[in-house]
Amino acid sequence: MESQRVSVVTGGGSGIGRAAATRLAAAGDRVVIADRDAAAGQRVVATIRGSGGAADFLPVDVASEASVEALADAVERDVGPVAVLVNSAGVLQNVAELATYSMDEHDKVWSINYRGTYLCCRAFAPRMARRRVGSVVNISSTSAVDAMPLIAYGPGKAAVQQLTAILAVEFGPDNVRFNSVMPGYVLTEQMQARIDAGKRDPHSMQGHSALGRMVTPEDVAEGIHFLCSSAASCITGIVLPIDAGYLPAVTYLHHPGLGGVHPRRTDKRPVT
């Protein structure tokens, strides 16, 4: 019998990571939920096992080199050879300006979103390379390419994309693929909390998309599943937008001839 593929999902306790872990387990993978929130991670493990899937929880702080190395050792020793890594551990950022944004906040965002992704690639990719099988998916954001008032988060995501492209070429000879997904506004629990706190406007997030809706974690999980599948075996170094058409819509709607009103939407409130 062919052995079960082992996939590691950092940040698998919540949001996009939870949806990706659930999707990969439904496809037959043995999934390791690696998260700093043990209670959340264990809940996801219980749900996956409850639906007949295979999952384990291991704790990690992706910002810590020692913690990430310990995770990689533990997975390979106790679960099996890792074939898929999804780097979804991350934090969001609220709107901020250069002069008043604290360096502690800035460094926290970079240490988790960029350094965490870097450390996990560094720990797992050489192991995949030795076996000549592997697929890594990193999580970018539309703020990597469009200027938003997210002064640490956006540049950090641009760096994640650039790292992904570099590693795709470095590890191409080893048959290890690196790709990014680029979600738009995803309606996770964290995002809902920001909406409830008045820090994000749902009308604006939905309006700034071709499809007039927010992205779900499951939408992103489908893209991640595809990029890790054999159907994507010739795809490496790409950035896959999963944004309900945010990227084209944002410039279209802000054309000075439209004033933020879509010509064919029934909701005529301007999108600002």
Q: Based on CB atoms, which residue is closest to ligand NAD, 248 or 259?
A: 248
Active site residue: 101, 114, 118, 153, which one? 153
Q: Is 201 near ligand NAD (CB under 6 A)?
A: no
Question: Max alpha carbon distance in the chain (Å)?
Answer: 62
Q: Is 60 near ligand NAD (CB under 6 A)?
A: yes
Q: Based on CB atoms, which residue is closest to ligand NAD, 102 or 233?
A: 102
Can you tell me which of 6, 32, 63, 244 binds ligand NAD, judged by CB under 6 A? 63
DSSP calls for the chain = -PPPPEEEEETTTSHHHHHHHHHHHHTT-EEEEEES-HHHHHHHHHHHHHTT-EEEEEE--TT-HHHHHHHHHHHHHHT--EEEEEE----------TTTS-HHHHHHHIIIIIIHHHHHHHHHHHHHHHHT-EEEEEE--GGGTS--S-TTHHHHHHHHHHHHHHHHHHTGGGTEEEEEEEE-SB--HHHHHHHHTTSS-HHHHHHSSSSSSPBPHHHHHHHHHHHHSGGGTT--S-EEEESTTHHHHHHHHT-TTTTT--TT-S--SPP-
Query: Which of 20-28, 178-186, 227-235, 252-260 is the region at the interface with ligand NAD (rule: CB under 6 A)?
Result: 178-186
Can you tell me which of 40, 55, 72, 75 binds ligand NAD, judged by CB under 6 A? 40
Least distance (Å) between residue 240 CB and ligand NAD: 12
Query: Which of 22-30, 97-105, 111-119, 260-268 is the region at the interface with ligand NAD (rule: CB under 6 A)?
Result: 111-119
Site mask for ligand NAD (CB under 6 A), range 210-249, x = bound = ----------------------------------------
Tell me if residue 153 is catalytic: yes
Angle (nearest 5°) at CA 114 between 112 and 115: 70
d(C-alpha 250, C-alpha 252), whole Å? 6
Can you tell me which of 185, 221, 240, 246 binds ligand NAD, judged by CB under 6 A? 185
Q: Based on CB atoms, which residue is closest to ligand NAD, 59 or 129?
A: 59
Q: Is 35 near ligand NAD (CB under 6 A)?
A: yes
How many residues of this chain interact with ligand NAD, rule: CB under 6 A? 31
Least distance (Å) between residue 117 CB and ligand NAD: 8
Q: Is 62 near ligand NAD (CB under 6 A)?
A: yes
Closest by Cα among 156, 243, 220, 9 to 164: 156
Can you tell me which of 6, 8, 11, 208 binds ligand NAD, judged by CB under 6 A? 11
Q: Is 154 near ligand NAD (CB under 6 A)?
A: no
Residue positions annotated with a catalytic role: 153
